[in-house]
Amino acid sequence: MNTLGLNLEKSILFEDEDIIVCRKPGGVPVQTKRSSVMDMESGLKNYLAQKGEGAYLAVVHRLDQPVQGILVFGKNQKSGARLSEQIQKGQMEKIYLACVQGIPEDKEGTLEDQMEKIPGSNLSRIVDKKTKNSRKAVLEYKVLKEEKGCSLLEIHLKTGRHHQIRVQLAHMGNPIIGDTKYNKGEIGDSERKGLGLCASRLCFFHPKTGKKMEFQVKPDGNFPIV
């Protein structure tokens, strides 16, 4: 059964009795409360049920709906808890590829900003450090390639704020291609094929064996340069 409009089994990069590592397509939510929309969590639970396994699935981290890339899920409570602990301790490494407009002034650097989620909306913004309830946002970037007035960046995410990469790159003056929320030239543009952001590499330790696991994918879709 094709529960997500894709070949779910082909999207699975690794699976054992404790974890599932898969590639989420851009446009598919990790979780949703809308019963008419299939998400990764529901699709994978259906997949496990069809195999005769328990339908437990721990969602330990997320990607925005338009973002494509790698996710790891726990197949039992213990694995989910140990993966979550790695995230809290900064032991899970998440590396992204972003295709942005223009060429950053510095070829590599660290962005440190203060961010807040805008009340009553699904948007975030950069604010003053003294802003109440704001949180520090940190990422490192490196320009990998420049072509056609765009740049391909490698992003090392150090914190996990709402829409963090999208907001910080737009604030830097290099918004992500296809970002209809934070790229002023594309806000409200429904014709875009997708967001030029991919969670391309994920590194963590197996929750049971302790073995270092590393997975990598190439972006597809709305990436003018790769």
Q: What pTM, to 2 d.p., does this model score?
A: 0.89
91 has pLDDT over 70? yes
First CA to last CA distance, the chain: 32
Q: Strand runs (DSSP E) across the chain, as ranges?
A: 12-15, 19-24, 58-59, 68-74, 93-101, 108-117, 124-127, 135-147, 150-157, 197-205, 212-216
4-10: average pLDDT: 64
- The verdict on residue 221 lying in a domain is no
Output the CA torsion sign for 64, 65, 66, 69. positive
> Cα–Cα distance between 60 and 182 in angstroms, integer?
26
Q: pLDDT digit string (tens) for 139-192?
A: 999 999 999 889 999 999 999 899 999 999 999 999 999 998 998 877 555 445
Confirm whether 36 is domain-assigned. Answer: yes
Q: What is the pLDDT of residues 46-82, one digit of tens each?
A: 889 888 887 789 999 999 999 999 999 999 999 999 9
The pLDDT tens digits of the residues spanning 14-47 come to: 999 999 999 999 989 998 877 777 789 989 998 8
CATH number at residue 127: 3.30.2350.10
Overall number of domains in the chain: 1
Residue 172 lies inside a defined structural domain of this protein: yes
Q: What DSSP designation does 65 have?
A: T
Using CA atoms, how far apart are residues 207 and 172, in angstroms rounded to an integer?
Answer: 37
Q: By residue range, what is the domain housing residue 196?
A: 8-216
Cβ atoms of 72 and 206 within 8 Å: the answer is no
Residue 6 has a pLDDT of: 54
- Does 226 reside within a domain? no
The tokens of 125 are what? Answer: 């913004």
* Residue 187 falls inside a structural domain: yes
Give the number of other CB atoms < 10 A from CB of residue 140.
Answer: 15
Residue 80 resides in a domain: yes
